[in-house]
Amino acid sequence: MPHDESKRLHKNAADLKTLALQLGLSQSTVSRALRAHPGIPETTRLRVVSAAEAAGYRPNARARSLALGRAETIGLSFPLERLQLPETNFVDVLAGISTAITSRNYNLLLSPFQGDEAAVLRRLASSKAVDGIIITRPLVDDPRIALLNELRLPFVVHGRSEVEEPYSFVDTDNDNAFERLTTLLLDYGHRHIVAINGLAQFRYVAARAASFRRAFAARGLTPPPDAIEFVSMTEATGYETAMRRLSDAKRPTAFLCGSVFQARGVYRALGEHGLKVGIDVSVVCHDDGVRGFSAADFVPSLTATATSIRSAGEELALILIDLIEGKVPGPIRKIMPFELVLRDSVALARPEP
């Protein structure tokens, strides 16, 4: 360390001990004054605080978290690919989480993983690197929930699972949104609707499929078994699926998409078939409010159930922090609201030829 002396030239109090020394007080008093503990008279507190400020003192987070048993840090565990795929709403969730932790003065530890997520969660828990964790994309029957309960690490799930275990979550209102979208198309006279859903292993996909059928059932109808397509949430699959279904013997009159990415593919497929969206064929969609993919910007603009996945991210982090700090008791369940925004992509179904 060639510059060791220069460090001492700044009369910065690097630690509590020297700060206490400078003030002629004990570490305990200084520590308590800085944390505004009751029993410390206001005058001392002010004296200590201003001395700390002048010295540029900040408590050592490592020592503090060891003594306190809390690190004021939350973790986010996610498969590395979610940052690599072009079409992902993950970044928006991350932005929401970032906003929340900034406002609550927490830190965010990113835990990307490849392969075994359980191992990552175990490591995070037993190494006490974080006070709690956010997990995403739960499966229908997700083993991580039981694991985290067993590890006694506070956690919040983005989405729901079917497990019996108690857990906190923030989820999109899939049930109502998809029922609403389906009902809208039915109202407009559509009966031959293709729902482009996500991959069946995720719980929200099942929920959406059920809502779709429920909307039909509410009018005494039953959609044909092939009405729902279970494919990934990308433009490419939206395109391929639409292309395939448009060459069905009986062409669908409407498409319901799970994401704006898929909807974009559907628009393209319709264009290639020379069909006009909102005239020849109707399209509706669920819109998570992903940056740069607004349903409002589609041409023609896309009727959609709008929600903010960014707000969901904020909510996730806020709930987790409340849980960690014991401000709220048991499992918190939060369903994010949505609204149906009517735009130009839906027309009355043409009478059957």
C-beta of residue 141 within 8 angstroms of C-beta of residue 162: yes
Under the binding rule (CB under 7 A), the answer on residue 28 touching DNA is yes
In the complex, what is the shortest distance from the CB of residue 215 to its own copies, in angstroms, rounded to a whole number? 32
Query: How many other β-carbons are positioned within 10 Å of the β-carbon of residue 334?
Result: 14
In the complex, what is the shortest distance from the CB of residue 315 to its own copies, in angstroms, rounded to a whole number? 17
Q: Map the footprint of DNA across residues 40-99, applying CB under 7 A.
A: 40-41, 44, 59-60, 63-64, 66-69
If the CB atoms of residues 49 and 109 are measured against its own copies, the closer one turns out to be 109
Query: Judged by CB under 7 A, which of 8, 9, 39, 116 binds DNA?
Result: 39
The answer for 102, left when phi > 0, alpha when psi is -120 to 50, beta otherwise, is: alpha
Tell me which of its own copies, DNA, none is bound by residue 119, counting a contact when its beta carbon lies within the kind-specific cut-off of 5 to 8 angstroms.
Answer: none
If the CB atoms of residues 36 and 342 are measured against DNA, the closer one turns out to be 36
Q: Which stretch binds DNA (CB under 7 A): 25-33, 224-232, 240-248, 333-341?
A: 25-33
Query: Judged by CB under 8 A, which of 26, 28, 50, 60 binds its own copies?
Result: 60
Tell me, what DSSP letter sits at residue 202?
A: B
Q: Which stretch binds its own copies (CB under 8 A): 107-115, 134-142, 322-330, 337-345?
A: 107-115
Closest C-alpha among 61, 65, 59 to residue 30: 59
Residues in the chain: 353
Tell me which of DNA, its own copies, none is bound by residue 39, counting a contact when its beta carbon lies within the kind-specific cut-off of 5 to 8 angstroms.
Answer: DNA
Give the list of residues 6+ apart from residue 177 with CB closer than 8 angstroms, or none. Answer: 211, 286, 305, 307, 338
Tell me which of DNA, its own copies, none is bound by residue 86, counting a contact when its beta carbon lies within the kind-specific cut-off of 5 to 8 angstroms.
Answer: its own copies
Tokens found for residue 304: 């959609």
In the complex, what is the shortest distance from the CB of residue 8 to DNA, in angstroms, rounded to a whole number? 13
In the chain, the N- to C-terminal Cα span, in Å, equals 86
For 294, the 3-state DSSP assignment is coil
If the CB atoms of residues 61 and 200 are measured against its own copies, the closer one turns out to be 61
Q: How far apart are CA 242 and CA 235, in angstroms?
A: 11
Tell me which of its own copies, DNA, none is bound by residue 27, counting a contact when its beta carbon lies within the kind-specific cut-off of 5 to 8 angstroms.
Answer: DNA
Q: How far apart are CA 188 and CA 185, in angstroms?
A: 5
Under the binding rule (CB under 8 A), the answer on residue 293 touching its own copies is yes
For 106, the 3-state DSSP assignment is coil
Tell me which of DNA, its own copies, none is bound by residue 40, counting a contact when its beta carbon lies within the kind-specific cut-off of 5 to 8 angstroms.
Answer: DNA
C-beta of residue 170 within 8 angstroms of C-beta of residue 312: yes
Query: Judged by CB under 8 A, which of 80, 221, 296, 328 binds its own copies?
Result: 80
Closest C-alpha among 182, 111, 183, 116 to residue 147: 116
In the complex, what is the shortest distance from the CB of residue 12 to its own copies, in angstroms, rounded to a whole number? 8
Under the binding rule (CB under 7 A), the answer on residue 102 touching DNA is no
Residue at token pair 């979208």: 181
Under the binding rule (CB under 8 A), the answer on residue 98 touching its own copies is yes
Q: How far apart are CA 321 and CA 51, in angstroms?
A: 31
Q: How far apart are CA 294 and CA 3, in angstroms?
A: 53
Q: Map the footprint of its own copies across residues 7-36, applying CB under 8 A.
A: 7, 14
The answer for 36, left when phi > 0, alpha when psi is -120 to 50, beta otherwise, is: left
Query: Judged by CB under 8 A, which of 2, 62, 249, 274 binds its own copies?
Result: 62
List contacts with its own copies (CB under 8 A).
Answer: 3, 7, 14, 56-63, 65-66, 71, 73, 80, 83-87, 91, 94-95, 98-99, 101-102, 107-114, 122-123, 126-129, 152, 291-293, 310
